[in-house]
Structure formats: structure tokens, C-alpha cells
Amino acid sequence: MVEDLELQTPYLRLAARVWGPPDGVPVLALHGWLDNAASFDALAPLLPGVRLVALDLAGHGYSDHRPPGSHYHFVDFIPDVAAAADALGWQRFALLGHSLGGGIASFVAAVLPERVTRLAAIEGFGPPTSHPDDSPINLRKALAQMHTLPNKRLPLYPGLEAAIQTRCEASGLSWRAATILVERGVKPVGDGFGWRTDPRLRFVSPLYLAEPQILAYMARIQAPALLLCGEAGYLVKRAYMQDRYARVAHLTVKIVPGGHHPHLENPESCARRLNPFLMAA
């Protein structure tokens, strides 16, 4: 059974979906960019003994958007996660993150090692990076996007099927997987549907971390860590990720069938690896 939950933090109201027994192993799950808590709908029921709380990250799903004039800096998600754990009354917990959520989870594990028991990630380990020379260009783009937002015409879809088709085309997801995300990710607008996600999430980041900074965080991860990479996903194509992996003391990397969303498309394969790992917490 799944239940919906709202967590009031000092900063934002965060929505969540919850599976598993109240006395199960506490696991906080973090979805990917422009996804939502339903990202774990297919996987969570296959993790018996786990109390899995999947957040809608700020600006996604049913969670609050950041205040007007704010950007979505990657590092700002870190205190959101810590505040969600506090609201749940969890002093110690495991983390499960996909894509952006995997990047966030790895940073939470790095800066709060006394609280994170285990770190599991799917197709994400650390944030995207950018060359330092591009920093002024990125900031200028972000400022321009913020300035033009009030006049921006947001996409509207005549029916749910059109939104699902758009998501399939954008990410290569199957119709079934896209439907799971879209049903939680849209809202009625007039006679059609629009996205619940904050449009500012699509802006260029005003500030990226340089790779040496990210490597410093990787070296601070103390918890046992498991990373699942889709055999046709993003990470297997990025050679620089090997340097990140090498900095983590207790990391195991496994290749699973599927692309960037293997937990949605092939949940059984992911569960076979994740369940014993998380239950060992």
C-alpha cells in the first residue's frame, strides 16, 4: 500500500509518497530532474522491509516552489533533504536517489556522514559540472531567463495523452513509465493540462561546481555505497565518472538492463540488487 504525506520544513512544504511498514528500514528516496515521487512507484513495492519515503523535490510534483526571484541551485536541495529527514524524526537513514536525486544523495552523504547509513544511487552520482571559463556565460543566461519568465508562454496539452507523448519523446521512456510520471506531474489548466514543475527548473544553472570541487565531496562519503548504471544510460558514456567513483571508499558499481530510468522500466532487476543492500543498513 502507498500513502501520501506532507512534510512541513522550516523552508518549504514537501510532498511525499510512502511505502512499507512503519518499523521498516528508513530510506529517503530522491527522484530525478523534472520527475517526481512517482518515479519510485514500480520499485518501492519490490523492497519489502523498507520504509521508503519518496519526496517530491522542491519545485516538483506537489511540493512548494521556491520563492519568487530564487534560482534552483543544486546545493540548495541538500538542506531540503536534511529538513525532510528531521520532519520524519529520522536521525539516521539510508538514501536512494535517481539521476539528480543520486547527485543530491551523494552530497548529503558527504556532508552528513553521521546520519547516512547507506547510499544507493541509480544513474546519478554527483551533480553536472561546467568548465570554470563558462561561469560568466551561464550566469548571464540564467539572469536573462529569469527576466523573461513573466512573459513566457508555458506549454499546455489538450489531454493527458498529449503530455505523455511529449514525455516519451523527450526522454525515451515507454508509455507505461511516462504515464506514471506524468499523472503526478501535471495539473488541470483550463480545458487542458500543464506541468506542475516550476518552469525555473529548466533554466541554466547560474553556478556550477567545478569537477575538483565535486571530487572533494566524493572523498567525504563514508557510508557503503551502491551505484546502478543502466547499460544504455547516461553514466556508462561519461569517462570522467570513473574519477568520482575512485574517490569513494566503499562504492560498488553495477550495470543493469535499461536506459536512464531502469528503476521504472526494469524494477525487478534493480530491486534484486537494492533490497539486500538497503536491508543490510
Active site residues: 99
> Three-class SS of residue 255?
strand
For the chain, what is the total number of helices (H) and then of strands (E)?
9, 10
Q: How crowded is the C-beta side of 59, counted as CA atoms within 13 Å?
A: 20
Nearest in space to 57 (alpha carbons), one of 12, 19, 95: 12
Vertex 124, ends 67 and 118: CA angle to 5°? Answer: 95
- Residue 42 burial by Cβ neighbours in a 10 Å radius (0-12, 13-18, 19+): buried
CA separation for the pair 218, 111 (Å, rounded): 10
Q: How crowded is the C-beta side of 242, counted as CA atoms within 13 Å?
A: 5
Q: Following DSSP, what letter does each residue of 167-190 receive, concatenated?
A: HHHHH---HHHHHHHHHHHEEEET
- CA 281, distance to chain mean position in Å, is 21
Nearest in space to 106 (alpha carbons), one of 278, 226, 187: 226
CA separation for the pair 131, 211 (Å, rounded): 8
In terms of phi and psi (left: phi > 0; alpha: psi -120 to 50; beta: otherwise), the region of 59 is left
- Per the CB < 8 A criterion, the answer to whether 196 and 186 are in contact is yes
